[in-house]
Amino acid sequence: MLILASLFTALADDDPVLNATSQEIERVWPYLTQEEESPHWLGIGVNDVIEYRVQATHGSKMAPDISHMRTADIDIRVGTPELDSTHPLRDSGWFNEDTHFEIELPIEDDPLAIQSALWLGIDTAYRSGVRRIIKIRTNNTVKVEIEDQSGDWSVSPVTEHIEELTPLAIDILDWQNKLQSVSSAALGYPEVYDSFAALDAKREIRYFVDSDGNRIRQQFIRFRVSVFAETIAEDGMELKSYDYIDAHSLDNLPSVETITQMMHSTAQKVTDLRNAPVVDPYVGPAILRGRAAAVFFHEILGHRAEGHRQKDDTEGQTLTDKVNEVIFPDFITVVDDPTLQNWNGLDLNGYYRVDDEGVEAQKVVVVEDGVLRNFLMSRSPIEGFDQSNGHGRRDLGYAPVSRQGNLIVSSDTTMPYQSLKTALLKEIRQQGKPFGLIFDDISGGFTFTGRTTPNSYNVQPVTVWKVYPDGREELVRGVDMIGTPLLTFSRIKAASEAQQVFNGSCGAESGWVPVSAIAPDLLVSEVEVQRRDKGTNRPPLLSPPTAGERQ
């Protein structure tokens, strides 16, 4: 069955969602601005999201999951750009008004129904803003002055950006058959207990309209094919491997043969890991392969370069006072460029043209030749950086804050991977260590940036190899890479020629947003690994059922 998510390819002038949202803002604005406590800005982001998930397991089809929803995120700012209702309330308890409202809209293009829903949402949001600004004024009087005295909102040029809409077409039955075949590959690995192969397809139309006159319509079509395999080691450690390829069109997805190969290698990987030894906590030299290095930079640098963290008194503010100071070796340059759609033929998750505050995305040089130059900015200004550079992003249901898009790490001096490995062996010997580590693949990571927790990071590898001084490699399991940012920045010694892409999603204050990180393989003179949390369950007591067997 071929499913066309939408045959609607409206021109902007005819777009009922865009027009209904614009008209409602135009209609309500005069009423709101004549109030004693009036708003200085009202923005509405409407997201129309169609998602499909087709999945198969053990050579058998699962029913597809299909959804279509349309939501509106309403942000209203009561007060002035210098001080408005989004200003933080310090030490003020749990039960304060929200600064942001999410409502559900009809998926039908019915202007009256859309405007009616927006009307109720805006009225509620405005009342909440009024209540909040009353509290904020008192809070600012009672508390000490906030360290960053910049305002709450910055002016940006008005943008009109309308993208063409195209349908999302998927042959579900065809994909079910393909994935059924792919998933049967895992049956050949008796120690793989659970597995699946899946296709996720999503079309997201993101509208944005505000009281400044911004009118945006962007379309994002994303596909992901993924395979998953899971086993349990005899010591109870749950071993999971998830491999995937993201693309912006069906044409850019791999062939069934390639996906089948991914299924095989994923199943083989967890089978190998099941029999691999556990590595003890250790400090020593390591190579982070490209994807691991990319996540490493996303966690240790990217989050700390987000503008709003420099302003928030509860944040650790690792980089706030380090602008124009050396924070990395001088061969490292880091940019964030959301305008980049793909990289060496791979589609990038972090691509967008206009951010969720109506500001055109810009390439930002965060670190130049090792020196910190800039922050990723939303429309919330910070001292010394009073303009947005198009990084205000959010997930459905959240207010935007500054976030990463496509974080790209590059090196002025590079070497082939084999030379990097030779350098690692040299480093092992120089440090007198029994072995070094190679972090080959990772599943994700996280970092703490606040003041009440250690300012540290954790990168979670899937595949780690021990490298002995004689060059021998041994697969190991059961460790996470940990550390603190400033110390780690200085430990980077060399980089490879080739860069690799990590496509993923990043969860933070404004929800989950798609991101990419690109980095070369890195030689780091010292990393620390700690034991990974492991499960306590025994492997299944009975052998798996097999075809033709009755008992």
The footprint of another protein (CB under 8 A) covers: 1, 3, 5-6, 24, 27-28, 31-32, 35, 50, 56-70, 104-108, 110, 112-117, 119-120, 122-123, 126-127, 172-173, 180, 187, 193-194, 537-538, 540-542, 544-547, 550-551
Across 380-456, the runs of DSSP E, i.e. the strands, are: 392-393, 401-402, 406-411, 436-447
54 vs 517, which CB is nearer to another protein? Answer: 54
Residue 129 burial (CB count, 10 A): 27
39 vs 520, which CB is nearer to another protein? Answer: 39
Shortest separation between residue 46's beta carbon and another protein, angstroms: 13
For residues 207 and 216, the answer to whether their CB atoms sit within 8 Å is yes
Shortest separation between residue 292's beta carbon and another protein, angstroms: 31
29 vs 331, which CB is nearer to another protein? Answer: 29
| Burial (CB count within 10 angstroms: exposed 0-12, middle 13-18, buried 19+), residue 148 | middle
| Burial (CB count within 10 angstroms: exposed 0-12, middle 13-18, buried 19+), residue 523 | buried
Shortest separation between residue 132's beta carbon and another protein, angstroms: 15
Shortest separation between residue 267's beta carbon and another protein, angstroms: 14
- Residue 472, amino acid: R
What's the distance, CA 279 to chain centroid? 29
Contacts of 453 (CB under 8 A, 6+ apart): none
Contacts of 461 (CB under 8 A, 6+ apart): 292, 439, 440, 441, 442, 443, 479, 480, 481
66 vs 326, which CB is nearer to another protein? Answer: 66
Cα distance between residue 199 and residue 49, in whole Å: 16
Rg (CA), the chain: 25
3-state secondary structure 266-292: HHHHHHHHHCCCECCCEEEEEEECHHH
Residue 462 burial (CB count, 10 A): 22
197 vs 424, which CB is nearer to another protein? Answer: 197
Cα distance between residue 279 and residue 175, in whole Å: 40
For residues 239 and 276, the answer to whether their CB atoms sit within 8 Å is no
6 vs 410, which CB is nearer to another protein? Answer: 6
For residues 391 and 302, the answer to whether their CB atoms sit within 8 Å is no
Shortest separation between residue 377's beta carbon and another protein, angstroms: 32
144 vs 541, which CB is nearer to another protein? Answer: 541
Residue with tokens 């603190």: 484
232 vs 276, which CB is nearer to another protein? Answer: 232
The packing angle between helices 172-184 and 256-274, to 10°, is 40
State the Cα angle at 347 between 344 and 349, rounded to 5°.
Answer: 130
217 vs 303, which CB is nearer to another protein? Answer: 217
69 vs 158, which CB is nearer to another protein? Answer: 69
Shortest separation between residue 342's beta carbon and another protein, angstroms: 28
For residues 114 and 16, the answer to whether their CB atoms sit within 8 Å is yes
Cα distance between residue 457 and residue 272, in whole Å: 27
115 vs 402, which CB is nearer to another protein? Answer: 115
Contacts of 426 (CB under 8 A, 6+ apart): none
31 vs 412, which CB is nearer to another protein? Answer: 31
184 vs 260, which CB is nearer to another protein? Answer: 184
Shortest separation between residue 302's beta carbon and another protein, angstroms: 35
Residue 195 burial (CB count, 10 A): 26
Cα distance between residue 477 and residue 238, in whole Å: 11
Cα distance between residue 169 and residue 14, in whole Å: 23
Shortest separation between residue 32's beta carbon and another protein, angstroms: 7
